[in-house]
């Protein structure tokens, strides 16, 4: 009968107490492995377990699947993203360049220590059904918040805007597409794309207002 000696039962070598492995530990390890640009679907259960330092089977204590872990990842990414944008808005809720601030907050997030957003951007249209639903959910949150804001601005300024919901959708998709394209590029390139995105959004809003005026005057 062999006595089993656990590799790291309750203490890690660096002295940090590690009473239990959490789902978050697994997620962090997965994110580590997703550096560079591997897809989530290429991650193996064993690989993640190895990175955390647990036996493969322990994975099942926390997630049914690698897929389930991936969905948790997207939820987290969306939560943190919404937080950033909302904070940016609060900082200058009624001032002029709300667009610039929001876009820059989004783009700066690509720089930060938060690596979850990269995964969301990369895997928007790939992955399991559940995964894509999770991403869709986040995009819709984004869209809805933006539409509310657009309507608030329209009411405050009295400007006629054509189909705020559609404008919100166009802006959201554009920002995410540009963000995904900017991801991984150099800082200066990102800055440039950030500026481009701002101009694009201004075009959309100007166009919506202009078309709104036209539709109003001819009716």
Closest CA to 123 of 30, 37, 32, 25: 37
d(CA 54, CA 28): 14
- 33 near a second copy, rule: CB under 8 A: no
Binder among 25, 149, 151, 183 for a second copy (CB under 8 A): 183
Does 154 interact with a second copy (rule: CB under 8 A)?
no
Considering the complex, state which of residue 55 and residue 159 has its C-beta at the smaller distance from DNA.
Answer: 55
Q: What is the DSSP letter of 60?
A: G
- Residue carrying the six token digits 């481009």: 196
Contact window for a second copy (CB under 8 A) among 74-82, 92-100, 148-156, 173-181: 173-181
The entry of DNA, a second copy, none near residue 3 (CB within 5 to 8 angstroms by kind) is: DNA
Measure the CA–CA gap between 21 and 42, rounded to whole angstroms: 23
Does 48 help bind a second copy (rule: CB under 8 A)? no
**Cα–Cα dist 144/38, whole Å:** 31
Binds 66, which of a second copy, DNA, none (CB < 5 to 8 A, cut-off by type)? Answer: DNA
Query: Measured from the CB of residue 204, what is the shortest distance to a second copy in angstroms?
Result: 5
Report the candidate in 51, 86, 82, 83 with the shortest Cα–Cα distance to residue 69: 51
Candidates 36-44, 53-61, 69-77, 90-98 — which segment interacts with a second copy by CB under 8 A? 36-44
Residues in touch with DNA (CB under 7 A): 1-10, 20-21, 44-47, 50, 53-58, 61, 65-66
Distance, CA of 207 to chain centre: 28
Instruction: Decide if 20 contacts 8 (C-beta within 8 A).
Output: no
Q: How far apart are CA 128 and CA 135, in angstroms?
A: 11
Instruction: Give the x-and-dash track for 124-143 against a second copy (CB under 8 A).
Output: xxxxxx--x-----------
- Measured CA to CA, the distance from residue 23 to residue 169 in angstroms comes to 34
Structure tokens at 181: 């394209």
Contact present, 39 and 122 (Cβ < 8 Å): yes
Identify the residue among 12, 22, 24, 42 touching a second copy (CB under 8 A): 42
Among 8, 55, 130, 199, binds a second copy (CB under 8 A): 199
Query: Quick one: which of 62, 122, 147, 190 contacts a second copy (CB under 8 A)?
Result: 122
Interface residue list for a second copy (CB under 8 A): 37-39, 41-42, 121-129, 132, 162-163, 166-167, 169-170, 173-174, 176-178, 180-181, 183, 196, 199-200, 202-208, 210-211
């Amino acid at each position: 009968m062999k006595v089993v000696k656990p590799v790291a039962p309750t203490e890690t070598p660096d002295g940090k107490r590690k009473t239990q492995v959490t789902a978050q530990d697994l997620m962090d390890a997965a994110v580590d492995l997703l550096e560079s640009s591997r897809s989530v679907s290429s991650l193996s259960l064993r690989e993640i377990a190895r990175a955390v330092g647990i036996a493969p089977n322990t994975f099942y204590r926390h997630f049914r699947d690698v897929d389930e872990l991936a969905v948790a990842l997207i939820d987290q990414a969306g939560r943190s993203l919404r937080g950033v944008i909302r904070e940016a808005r609060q900082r200058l809720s009624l001032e002029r360049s709300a667009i610039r601030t929001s876009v820059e907050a989004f783009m700066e997030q690509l720089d930060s220590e938060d690596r979850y957003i990269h995964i969301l951007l990369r895997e928007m249209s790939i992955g399991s059904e559940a995964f894509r639903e999770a991403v869709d959910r986040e995009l819709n949150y984004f869209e809805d918040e933006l539409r509310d804001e657009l309507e608030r601005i329209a009411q405050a300024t009295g400007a006629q805007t054509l189909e705020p919901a559609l404008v919100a959708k166009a802006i959201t998709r554009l920002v995410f597409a540009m963000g995904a394209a900017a991801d991984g590029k150099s800082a200066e390139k990102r800055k440039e794309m950030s500026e481009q995105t701002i101009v694009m959004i201004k075009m959309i809003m100007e166009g919506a207002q202009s078309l709104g005026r036209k539709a109003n005057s001819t009716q």
